Structure 1
Amino acid sequence: MDDLLMLSPEQMRRIEPYFPLSHGVPRVDDRRVLSGILFVIRNGLRWRDAPAGYGPHKTIYNRFIRWSRMGVFNRILAELAARAGDPDQLMIDATHLKAHRTAASLLKKGLLPRCIGRSRGGLTSKLQVVCDGKGRPLLLYLTEGQANDHKAAAALLEHLPPARHLLADRAYSSIGFRDALVQRGITPCIPPHAKHRIKHNYDPVLYRQRQKIENTFARLKDWRRIHTRYDRCAHTFLSAIAFAATFIFWINES
């Protein structure tokens, strides 16, 4: 098992307080099963192709689906981010993620939205991310690929933690978004759009730090089941992103 990804005891101690309680029969080894989930997400495997060192693939898959429906992975990310305290800076941006045909095969069925749309010449989902000043994800929001950035940003506004500044590119340069940030005591650092008549001032030196969120997207997309969406349900795909972000940025820091 030397070549397998395995969560360390210290990493497990950081996330164990947010696991659901086990009722009745004790759960199969959490460390082994969660490590198997991360291995599948990182390498873009089918669940049945998970190495035998992680145990039965059915156990790994069932744990991931069950905890995704319970919101466990999203809660782990939120709790670890909250423990870090209020950030001095926030950054927001979006990226497109390609949807594989298997993810879109039931596009029009089911009651819950699948957050898959058509943009950039194919089926995509759009991931909105709010990061702190170190580029660590705080909030995740999934929409259809063609969704407007301002609608997603408006949905995230009420969940923003207190901060001094928010950095964003000119796609977020609107009077409504700026005013909403100011009302929350956050100074926007957003360059004005070329077609806008009112040219708002911003700090170009501070704005250069926005490259950290671009690096965040690059690191997330190194994980193949995030770069390409195979999950049909939006909540399972978002759980995969949340668990990968937790491992990369919150419990695997160098």
Structure 2
Amino acid sequence: MSGLFLLSEAQMARIAPHFPLAHGMPRVDDRRVISGIVYVIKHGLQWKDAPKDYGPHKTLYNRFIRWSRMGVFDRIFAGLSGQGPKPERIMIDATHLKAHRTAASLLKKGLFPRCIGRTKGGLNSKLHAVCDGDGKPLVMLLTEGQMSDHKGARLILGALPAAKALLGDRGYDSNWFRAALTEKGIEPCIPSSKSRKVEIPHDKTLYRQRHKIENMFARLKDWRRIATRYDRCAHAFFSAICIAATVAFWL
């Protein structure tokens, strides 16, 4: 498999505890299949174009879809990100991910939710994320593209890790969010919105570190299948995001 991506034995040892147990016949080599899934997502390939060294492309696709529905990749990301050191500061932001026309072909009232909305930029999804002071993602949420930052923050609020401060842009400036952070013992470092008559001061030196969450989004969008969404179902696309975040930041 020269020149192709292959997870190391040490990396497999960290994620293997989150794999479901095999029933009946033993599974095909987990290391080869998971590495093939990572390769396809990284390069934005169709499953049929996966290199032959990873085995039959149907095996890669079936494993990815089956484990996506089971939430396996979500648990891997949550497990590894939860093992990191307790962050002193966290950052919150959101970014839009363009949906390809093939992803938008799923009916809105289908069996699985799709989390695709329409904005001025067209059809897209929105990724809300919280990262630590080093720019490593801790919490992620996928929603429709038109959902506001405030609504996303409200959904993420209960999953925020303990920290001394939270950095966010002025899109998160609201009285309820500041009060909720203070109640959790987290100091908000958020610039005042232009609509505020009385500006609330914030630590401008600390706020300069907020570029790290922007860098995190940029690294995730280096993965071709993340920058443009091809997956119809939200669970499959979010699994791809969890795989990218796990490999890029936690392995």
The TM-score normalised by the length of structure 2 is 0.98
CA-CA distance at 1:50 after TM superposition: 0.5
Note if 1:234 corresponds to 2:244.
no
Matched, 1:197 2:197: yes
Matched residues in 1 for 2:200 and 2:111: separation?
42
Q: Measure the CA separation in 1 of the matches of 2:16 and 2:178.
A: 39
Query: Residue 63 of structure 1 aligns with which residue?
Result: 63
Q: 1:206 aligns to what?
A: 206
CA–CA distance in 1 between the matches of 2:64 and 2:211? 32
- Unpaired segments ≥5 residues, structure 1: none
Q: Name the % identity.
A: 65
Q: Which moved more, 1:109-118 or 1:160-169?
A: 109-118
Q: Distance in 1 between matches of 2:139 and 2:177?
A: 17
Q: Distance in 2 between matches of 1:2 and 1:204?
A: 48
Amino acid of the residue matched to residue 102 of structure 1?
T
- Could you give the per-residue CA deviations for residues 49-98 of structure 1, whole angstroms, max 9, x where no partner exists? 10000000000001101111111111111111111132111111000000
* Contact 1:95/1:126 (8 A) holds in 2: yes
Deviation, 1:121, is: 2.7
User: Residue 101 of structure 2 corresponds to which residue in structure 1?
Assistant: 101
* Aligned residue pair count: 251
> What secondary structure does 2:125 align onto?
strand
- Please report how far the alpha carbon of residue 196 of structure 1 lies from its aligned counterpart in structure 2 after TM superposition: 1.2
Kindly provide the amino acid, as one letter, of the partner of residue 8 in structure 1: S
Separation in 2, partners of 1:124, 1:228: 9
Identify the residue that residue 24 of structure 2 maps to in structure 1.
24
Residue of structure 1 equivalent to 2:152 = 152
What amino acid sits opposite 1:85 in the alignment?
Answer: P
RMSD (Å) for aligned C-alpha atoms: 0.9
1:177 alignment counterpart: 177
**Aligned-pair CA distance for 1:25:** 1.1
Give, as a single letter, the amino acid of the residue that structure 2 aligns with 1:121.
G
Query: Which region of structure 1 is more displaced relative to structure 2, 193-202 or 147-156?
Result: 193-202
Instruction: After superposition, give the CA deviation of every residue in 1:112-156 in whole Å (9 maximum; x if it has no partner).
Output: 431101113310101001101111111110111111111111000
Please state how far the C-alpha of 1:22 moved relative to its aligned partner. Answer: 1.2
Partner of residue 81, structure 1: 81
Q: Is the 8 A contact 1:92 1:167 kept in 2?
A: yes
1:108 Cα shift?
Answer: 2.1
Distance across 2 between alignment mates of 1:111 and 1:67: 17
Aligned partners of 2:242 and 2:12: how far apart in 1?
16
In the TM superposition, residue 111 of structure 1 has moved relative to its aligned partner by 3.9
Moved >4 Å (runs of 4+): none
Whether the 8 Å CA contact 1:107–1:116 is kept in 2: the answer is no
Contact 1:91 1:213 (8 Å CA) reproduced = yes
Q: TM-score, normalised by structure 1?
A: 0.97
Matched residue of 1:158: which SS? Answer: helix
